[in-house]
Structure 1
Amino acid sequence: MVVGRLGFDGLLVVIVIVIVVLLGQQTVQTANILAVFSYALGSSYVLVTPYIQQLVSRGHRVTMISAPVTYMPDIEGVQHIRVAKLKELTEDLEIYEYEAAVPTKWYEASFIADYFYNCSKLILEDAGVRSLLHNASAQFSMVVLGVPHTDALYGFGKHYNASLVGLAAYGGAWNIDFLAGNSAPSVYEPMSASGFTAGLSFFEKWINLIFISEERLVERFIYLPRQLKLYKRHFAADSSSLLEMRRKFSLILLNQHFSLGRVRSNVPNLVEVGGMHLAQLAEPLGAELQSFLDGATDGAIYFSMASDMLEKWFPPDFHETMLTAFGQLKQRVVWTTKRQESEITSNNVYIRRRQPQREVLHHPNVKLFITQGGLLSLIEASYYAVPVLMLPVYFDQHINAERMERLGIGRCLNFHELTPKVVLEGIQEMLHNASYALNARELALRFRDQPMKPMETAVWWTEYVLRHKGADHMRINEQDMSLMQYYSVDLFSVLFGRIGLTALIVGFLAYTVATIALQSAHYLFKLSIPVVS
């Protein structure tokens, strides 16, 4: 009957279309993927969770090594290996007092090196991980892990002869460029912002070049040695194999986007996916919070310093300073803090330990976001067009804040010099200067205007590496972009080397001739003086 109505040729076309559609749903052969994330803080898993969910939804089989479920929730279809001691590491971090928030560069490097060493060590010594490594039937074609500073974990790639994909939660830096094969990074991208400048003048550029040269020494003598020791203990006795693995990344996904004021020249295997965590469904507002924000006829302010751990580093009077300033506002304030609600007496403040941040920022009455300047928070503020008043504390927060100031959507206050008056003046300036809101809306338009959503970009390039078995063709040849060539040191050495040598010789000869001439003149002068008897 069907054949009679469509005809044989028509039925054949329908069958072909159905087959094409069914095949089109599977664009890449499903793969075994090992995901290794050593984060001991929950915020970074906000980036990881939707990415892994997408890979599973595409049919890939994922085994994931991570922190306990407190930080990283279970994902259906994923085989989880939980490293319980990573939670203890977070608790250990909280022993550092307020003074640790203002470290020297070397203190900060040692602090971070200790942290990442312990992350790598706890993972590699975990019984579940050891069992996986000794399971001869376990095979993976890709290893996805966090970068940088956890170099010992790159050994998973060598162990399984798998492609390495990195996820840079804090965006790009010179050491991530190095992992991607670009050994000649820009002087504008340090690992840490402590002591770094905007790099606008010639003098500042040279300061930054010296700064990053120091960072290379820090990595060589503080970060790498301990990671190398772990690597040799668990994967190989030959240290050169780790150095080789550090140059084998097929792809690194950068949690940044050029529209957010971080324009840089990326090699093909560095792909910007800033905002990919927005693919996760946002937590809805509760009825009480919804009513509080709806009733903010003069506008609302959202205040969150993101991490409970940071509260250990606040000045002793920090909460009282902020509360005094908020008490003088007409606007309502939604405040995320571990302080008890009973401690807050102001009627215009809604305080909870956890708030649905994205939906708060999305509410039309929210006019300002007061934040420490963490990257995920600033990405969300940019997406929802909310100006930011920043109180940076440590690491990347300072340079993130400087970038938002340069874009005209934020102001930065000195965390260590806050008074109620300073806070109130900063808030009033941002609420009453229309340029901040206007710039925030323009930034949101630019950030949202992308050919693919960030998560779609991340998954597409991940599967591209799978389709092309590591995609070695994406890596730049070092001889095409050496440090000498990047900074034109080779050209300068040829030009100024020859010119300089010539000038040196001419100068030396001129000096010699002048010296001989002066000595001769002096000698003749002495001869011309009559001798008095």
Structure 2
Amino acid sequence: MRWLYSSIILFAIAVFLSCDCDAANETTFVNTTKSKLKILGVFGHLGKSHFDVFKPLLEELARRGHELTVLSHFPRSENAKAKEPLPTYKDISLVDTELGVYVDIVDLHQIHHNIFSILRELYFLRFMADVACSTGLQNPAIKELLRSDEKFDVIITESFNTDCFLGFVHRFKAPYLGLSSSQIMPWINKDFGNEDNPSYIPSIFVGFTKPMDFPKRIWNRVTLSILKLAYDYWYRPRDQVFANEAFGPDLPELSEIARQSQALLVNTHSSLHGSKPQLPNVVEIGGLHIPSKINPLPSDIAKFLDSAHEGVLYFSLGSMIKSTTMPQEKLDAILTVLGSIPRKVIWKWESDELPRKLDNVMVKKWLPQFEVMNHPNVKCYLGHGGLLGLSESVYSGLPMVLVPMYGDQFHNAAAVKTRGSAEVLAFNNLNEESLRHALDEVFNNTRYRENAQKLSKAYRDRPATPLETAVWWTEYIARGNGSPFLRSEGADIPWYQRHLIDVALVLIIVSAALIYIIFRLIKLLLSLLRAVKGMLGAREKSKWKKID
């Protein structure tokens, strides 16, 4: 009989393999010979720093001859068009002159960190989503596009704080991929079925260094659950209302469209944010915005930096924070410390002059950040932990002093601190003593510089540039080769299956039943043994009576 079973098994394997090969031979690939693609880019968020990440990819796709239609609040300027005409790049401007964009809008008087900060973060993200959806989707140019008979090979859009723009995916029936300017938001991980295990992966909002101790793991778990529940039951219902008004009442649930994303390009890199499991269609393109060459500095800045042989501190709080709103007590502490250090300071400051003159400090309303960071005399970056400036500092090998304010800045600051190349200060505790100590540490302890250089080498060392990687994935998805080969089954199963709750319950019930049965059997066996022992005892007793 054994040979018969072996023959049946071998026959079944042969049939399975032949069926699998036939199915593979019948697979049809789409657009494999199409070299020029029609691409729709949808970027409704008003944050300039976000669009600065995506802009190099969009322009490079246009350079390669692909036809782009880009919806955004940041159309190419006349100066940019004159410098580099891109005839296949078409802007659909969402600019609202009354509303403006998110530049120099954060008032530092409003920054207070406590246990309720995560709730304020959620409210702020929702507020920005409401603005983006209500203004963007009502734009006449968008309504005209929706009435057109345009066809697109692929749609690329930001995956951040709203799904209301995913109606374009349904309207034009095109594959789409998401772009994230920051670490992946928790709800996006859920849509992809991507790993976000809170036992060892810190949430983007908590700012924990690794490894996390037990209390941090508890808070990380709680935070992750709050974020996902808020998105499912607060964000998405509001997004659905905006989207239905723009795309019609027959629009599917946005959560269903979100799960159709075929790839996610993320502005991170494992050298900085740490190694963790990622699906093959979750691709790191950290540093996408970093230019391939260093441009010459303006003459006055170059002269200032060239003469700073003792070293320079570069100070910038990014594009959204208005430095001039710094609370007076903290500003006085910063001015006192910076004015007393034996080094020059170049500072992005939104006014022409500081409240008091400092001989060693140059202030500018705008600075060519990457070029400044790469000047050999610049030795330290004092910033807020925004991912663009932080990534440029990592690329340039600069140690840092970081004062995170909101959003992913805590997470980014914790990541670079874990790598040993930064000191992190809490904004609540920013004073003369803490700032002076942090700057002394970073400038005078060679460990920070050495770690920053090591991190820079790891960050740069990749099989392809971030831009090349992003272009390849965009073209790959447009060719139609992504679905269904990249889709994780984990994204489509309910939460209780993903966490094996049903399996655990069955195993618990079966184990309990087995334990109960074994207990009853043991009890029955003991009863039988007692009965047999009693019978034997009675028989022995009867025997002795007869002898007597």
Q: TM-score range by the shorter chain?
A: 0.7 to 0.9
- The count of corresponding residues between Structure 1 and Structure 2 is 483
Counterpart residue number, 1:303 = 315
Given that 2:175 and 2:261 are in contact with CA atoms closer than 8 Å, whether structure 1 keeps it comes out as yes
Percent of pairs identical after alignment? Answer: 27
The offset of 1:202, in angstroms, is 4.7
The offset of 1:105, in angstroms, is 2.1
Task: Please identify, of 475-484 and 408-417, the stretch whose mean Cα deviation from structure 2 is larger.
Answer: 475-484
What do residues 127-162 of structure 1 show as CA deviations (whole Å, max 9, x unaligned)?
A: 1111111112x2212111111222010010110001
Instruction: Spell out the pairing of 1:255-266 with structure 2 (5 A cutoff).
Output: 255-266=267-278
The gaps in structure 2 that reach 5 residues or longer are 1-31, 521-548
Q: Which amino acid aligns with 2:148?
A: N
TM-score (normalizing by structure 2): 0.81
Q: Which amino acid aligns with 1:111?
A: F
Distance 1:504 1:190 in 2: 41
The offset of 1:401, in angstroms, is 0.9
Query: Compared with structure 1, are the counterparts of its residues 41 and 312 closer, same or farther at alpha carbon in structure 2 (3 Å cutoff)?
Result: farther
Q: 1:186 aligns with which of 179, 194, 197?
A: 197
Query: Compared with structure 1, are the counterparts of its residues 393 and 360 closer, same or farther at alpha carbon in structure 2 (3 Å cutoff)?
Result: same
What do residues 387-420 of structure 1 show as CA deviations (whole Å, max 9, x unaligned)?
A: 0100000111111111111110001111122222
Aligned CA-pair RMSD: 3.1
Distance 2:151 2:491 in 1: 34
The offset of 1:359, in angstroms, is 1.0
Counterpart residue number, 1:134 = 147
Distance 2:171 2:164 in 1: 12
Distance 1:335 1:149 in 2: 31
Given that 1:35 and 1:62 are in contact with CA atoms closer than 8 Å, whether structure 2 keeps it comes out as yes
Given that 2:373 and 2:393 are in contact with CA atoms closer than 8 Å, whether structure 1 keeps it comes out as yes
Query: Compared with structure 1, are the counterparts of its residues 503 and 353 closer, same or farther at alpha carbon in structure 2 (3 Å cutoff)?
Result: farther
1:253 alignment partner, SS class: strand
**1:80 partnered with 2:80:** no
Given that 1:174 and 1:185 are in contact with CA atoms closer than 8 Å, whether structure 2 keeps it comes out as yes
Distance 1:282 1:43 in 2: 19
**1:341 partnered with 2:347:** no
1:125 alignment partner, SS class: coil
The offset of 1:85, in angstroms, is 1.9
**1:47 partnered with 2:53:** yes
**1:273 partnered with 2:285:** yes
Counterpart residue number, 1:59 = 65
Given that 1:325 and 1:424 are in contact with CA atoms closer than 8 Å, whether structure 2 keeps it comes out as yes
Q: 1:147 aligns with which of 159, 177, 195?
A: 159
Q: 1:205 aligns with which of 207, 217, 241?
A: 217
TM-score (normalizing by structure 1): 0.83
Counterpart residue number, 1:382 = 394
**1:331 partnered with 2:343:** yes
Query: Compared with structure 1, are the counterparts of its residues 424 and 184 closer, same or farther at alpha carbon in structure 2 (3 Å cutoff)?
Result: closer
Query: Compared with structure 1, are the counterparts of its residues 36 and 503 closer, same or farther at alpha carbon in structure 2 (3 Å cutoff)?
Result: same
**1:445 partnered with 2:451:** no
The offset of 1:40, in angstroms, is 1.3
Instruction: Spell out the pairing of 1:348-387 with structure 2 (5 A cutoff).
Output: 348-387=360-399
Distance 1:110 1:89 in 2: 20
Given that 2:154 and 2:174 are in contact with CA atoms closer than 8 Å, whether structure 1 keeps it comes out as yes
The offset of 1:286, in angstroms, is 1.0
Query: Compared with structure 1, are the counterparts of its residues 294 and 373 closer, same or farther at alpha carbon in structure 2 (3 Å cutoff)?
Result: same
The offset of 1:273, in angstroms, is 0.3
The offset of 1:48, in angstroms, is 1.6
Given that 1:34 and 1:63 are in contact with CA atoms closer than 8 Å, whether structure 2 keeps it comes out as yes
Distance 2:40 2:181 in 1: 18
Distance 2:472 2:328 in 1: 48
Instruction: Spell out the pairing of 1:17-28 with structure 2 (5 A cutoff).
Output: none
The offset of 1:125, in angstroms, is 0.2
Query: Compared with structure 1, are the counterparts of its residues 159 and 287 closer, same or farther at alpha carbon in structure 2 (3 Å cutoff)?
Result: same
Q: Which amino acid aligns with 1:120?
A: C
The structure whose Rg is larger is 2
1:395 alignment partner, SS class: coil
Q: Which amino acid aligns with 1:81?
A: I
Given that 1:308 and 1:338 are in contact with CA atoms closer than 8 Å, whether structure 2 keeps it comes out as no
Q: Which amino acid aligns with 1:384?
A: S
Task: Please identify, of 278-287 and 48-57, the stretch whose mean Cα deviation from structure 2 is larger.
Answer: 278-287
Q: Which amino acid aligns with 1:36?
A: V
Q: 2:329 aligns with which of 312, 317, 335?
A: 317
Higher relative contact order (CA 8 A, sep 6+): 2
Distance 2:443 2:409 in 1: 22
Distance 1:343 1:177 in 2: 46
**1:120 partnered with 2:133:** yes
Distance 1:442 1:353 in 2: 32
Distance 1:366 1:62 in 2: 39
Counterpart residue number, 1:220 = 232
Task: Please identify, of 189-198 and 62-71, the stretch whose mean Cα deviation from structure 2 is larger.
Answer: 189-198
Distance 2:305 2:266 in 1: 34
Given that 1:113 and 1:223 are in contact with CA atoms closer than 8 Å, whether structure 2 keeps it comes out as yes
Given that 1:197 and 1:204 are in contact with CA atoms closer than 8 Å, whether structure 2 keeps it comes out as no
Distance 2:38 2:433 in 1: 57
Q: Which amino acid aligns with 1:33?
A: I
Instruction: Spell out the pairing of 1:379-528 with structure 2 (5 A cutoff).
Output: 379-478=391-490, 483-484=495-496, 486-499=498-511
Distance 2:416 2:261 in 1: 31
1:327 alignment partner, SS class: helix
Distance 1:52 1:150 in 2: 21
The offset of 1:492, in angstroms, is 3.6
Q: 1:110 aligns with which of 109, 117, 123?
A: 123
Query: Compared with structure 1, are the counterparts of its residues 113 and 323 closer, same or farther at alpha carbon in structure 2 (3 Å cutoff)?
Result: same
**1:38 partnered with 2:44:** yes
2:328 alignment partner, SS class: coil
Given that 2:156 and 2:177 are in contact with CA atoms closer than 8 Å, whether structure 1 keeps it comes out as yes
